[in-house]
Structure 1
Amino acid sequence: MKDDITYQVLVNDEGQYSLWPASHEVPAGWRPDGMTGTKDECSAHVDEVWTDMRPRSLREQMSGQ
């Protein structure tokens, strides 16, 4: 099955990433990170930039210990 959907990469305040159809309204609590493209292109971008899967609040808490 061919996926002709253009996706965008979203990020939330916790630094978590998600793929979202570019034609859909961005849900509350998320913002575009600037990347749009195919599902594979967006997934590759997320793999490159999201190197620490822990939420931002947990990273901050652990670095303060």
Structure 2
Amino acid sequence: MSNPFDDKNASFLVLVNHEGQHSLWPAFIAVPAGWQVALAATDRAACDAFIEANWVDMRPRSLVAAGGG
């Protein structure tokens, strides 16, 4: 099996976890526990743009809340 992230025609999701971290995820693979869909299945360019626009602070929420970083 080839790397699903290399498929230019694939559909992807944007996932987000409780720490506010975002992930590009192949739409055909089940969403792992602890992650929620933030952007429904679409092309990779739309997912990349969504992540760039919405994940502006790379620090986990728990670190921000603790005053770290």
**TM-score range for the pair, normalised by the shorter chain length:** 0.7 to 0.9
| C-alpha displacement of 1:34 | 2.9
Instruction: Report the counterpart of residue 49 of structure 1 in structure 2.
Output: 54
1:6 to 11, 15, 19: 11
Aligned residues: 63
| C-alpha displacement of 1:2 | 5.8
CA distance in 2, matches of 1:56, 1:16: 8
* Moved >6 Å (runs of 4+): none
- Structure 1 gaps of 5+ residues are none
1:17 to 14, 19, 22: 22
CA distance in 2, matches of 1:34, 1:45: 8
RMSD, matched Cα: 1.8
Contact 2:39–2:47 at 8 Å: present in 1 too? no
Identity of aligned residues (%): 43
Instruction: Report the counterpart of residue 62 of structure 1 in structure 2.
Output: 67
| C-alpha displacement of 1:12 | 0.4
